[in-house]
Structure 1
Amino acid sequence: MTATTETRPRPSIGKALAAEYVLLVRSIATRGRLVAIGSLAIVSVLLAVVVRASTPDDLLVAAVGYANANIGTLIPIAALVFGAAALGDLIDDGSIVYLWLRPLPTWVHVVAAWAATVSVALPVVALPVVAATPLIDPSAEAVGSAALAAVVGVVAYSALFVLAGVRFRRALPWGIVYILIWEGFVAHAGETATKLAVRSYLRSILSSITDVEIDLGIFGLAVGIVVPLLVSVAALAYGSRRLANTDIP
């Protein structure tokens, strides 16, 4: 079964998007997921306390290192857990057909899933990371760079992993491979691989604002912000097209 395009009166796009957004937030924000990811966020905050207690020689470098570690691991993992489930779970169990009963363009479903993922991931992981950064260094550069990189990261990774949930059955393994293998190792292999890693752009945001050198942080601030946002738009557009051609047994 594929998304239908029957000629029926269309409900208000705005109201439909809002209603589906609320539905998907409730769907992905399960107790198990919130406890698992929230526990990782708590560990991250405790790590910031440990880093500060170790009295590092350069507080700014230590704060950037802390933000970099979380933006490269905790944030993409949270976006993967929530984003892949947003539509992926509905496709896997066939309940996506109930969304298709409403005569809406498929982009509405994808954008609602992305917005739901961002809304859950921001307070669960991005906010704790940003709030913990000033425990190490309260300077505007440290906190501002962490906040900007975290927000851009949540936006970009959420779009990518919502797409993964539409494109792949059981998207979690694919996402883990991307985060740990591609961004963790392959991105260091050459300039082309670096350009295809979201993490490199987020590191560039941190590096550009703080003037702290970070591996793979080779782009300017504007590029570090704009490219992940363009990736988000492209992922959502492709996800919408892919969902329209998805077959449900």
Structure 2
Amino acid sequence: MYDPTVARLTYRALLGRRRALILGALPLLLIVISVAVRALTGADDQTAADVLGGFALATMVPIIGVIAGTGAIGPEIDDGSVVYLLSKPIKRPTIILTKLIVAIGVTMVFSAVPTMIAGLILNGNGQQIAVAYTVAALVASIAYSALFLLLGTVSRHAVVFGLVYALVWEALFGSLVPGARTLSVQQWSLAVAHKVAGGDLVTSDVGLTTATVLLVAVTVLATWYAGQKLRSLTLAGEE
């Protein structure tokens, strides 16, 4: 269920010079902010949680997920080059699963790694804050990649819709409407982080069991439906 050729082409598309600069901008900004905050306030657990939760998990991770998830397949569908890929004797679920693995890997590297570095800069992992948010970033990377890969297969405006979900639904409605928080990848990943850190510095509005079920369900369903959409696209081209 993994094709090295598809993976190589997807990595090349995601890590081209222009896209790599975009992917690296937010992690670099996080590191700069962390250095500045540490210099101004010293090591503080609450400050570390605020920076990692407010910027890394709430902004950086979903945006990188949008770029990697939609970029793994969206441009190929838009410019028609996906027809070349679909003409090869490769099963459609294999194509989707390979692209998902690549998107997850890219998202994890550009989000979880800088989150860990930032956490160590801010407070040296006091009260497991750095590790907890790194785990949250890893978990969120999987769900975001699946969701945004699906968006890339169903819409030419996947990036716009992805940013609306990440920055409007999760950040705005999630903070204003309690019920919306249940349908938030951010809150699901925070539930996992809370389990890692314990205490009150990392909190979530969703229980761990519910969060785990929803994370798995969304990832599996989004991947399956993306495969179905790719199959229908193939049939439409053959007709």
Fold match by TM threshold 0.5: yes
- Note closer, same or farther for the CA distance 1:28–1:248 as it changes in structure 2 (3 Å cut): farther
Name the CA distance, whole Å, in 1 between partners of 2:60 and 2:127: 22
C-alpha contact (below 8 Å) 1:83/1:159 kept by paired residues: yes
Using the alignment, how far apart are the partners of 2:188 and 2:51 within structure 1?
A: 17
Alignment match, 1:211: 199
Q: Which deviates more, 222-231 or 146-155? A: 222-231
**Map of 2:215 onto structure 1:** 228
The answer on whether the counterparts of 2:182 and 2:205 sit within 8 Å (CA) in structure 1 is: no
Q: 2:131 aligns with which of 141, 144, 166?
A: 144
3-state secondary structure, aligned to 1:185? helix
- For residues 9-48 of structure 1, what are the structure 2 equivalents within 5 Å? 13-14=1-2, 17-48=3-34
d(CA) in 2 for partners of 1:119, 1:77: 15
1:123 aligns with 2:109: yes
Q: Please tell me the residue identity of whatever aligns with 2:89.
A: P
> CA, structure 1 residues 92+195, in 2 after alignment: closer, same or farther (shift >3 Å)?
same
Check if 1:82 corresponds to 2:68. Answer: yes
Sequence identity of aligned pairs in percent? Answer: 26
Letter in 1 for 2:36: V
CA shift for structure 1 position 141: 1.2
Q: Is the deviation greater in 149-158 or in 125-134?
A: 125-134
Which protein, 1 or 2, shows the higher relative CO under an 8 Å CA cutoff with sep ≥ 6? 1
Q: Distance in 2 between matches of 1:42 and 1:164?
A: 27
1:61 equivalent to 2:49? Answer no
**Within 2, Cα distance between the matches of 1:75 and 1:248?**
35
Q: Flag the structure with higher helix content.
A: 2
Q: How many residues align?
A: 233
Q: CA RMSD in A?
A: 2.1
C-alpha spacing 1:213/1:134, structure 2 compared with 1 (3 Å): closer
Unaligned runs of at least 5 residues, structure 1: 1-12
CA distance in 1, matches of 2:93, 2:121: 41
Secondary structure at the counterpart of residue 171 of structure 2: coil
Whole-angstrom CA distance in 1 between matches of 2:63 and 2:46: 24
The aligned counterpart of 1:172 is: 159
Alpha-carbon distance in structure 1 between the residues aligned to 2:131 and 2:210: 17
CA distance in 2, matches of 1:37, 1:23: 18
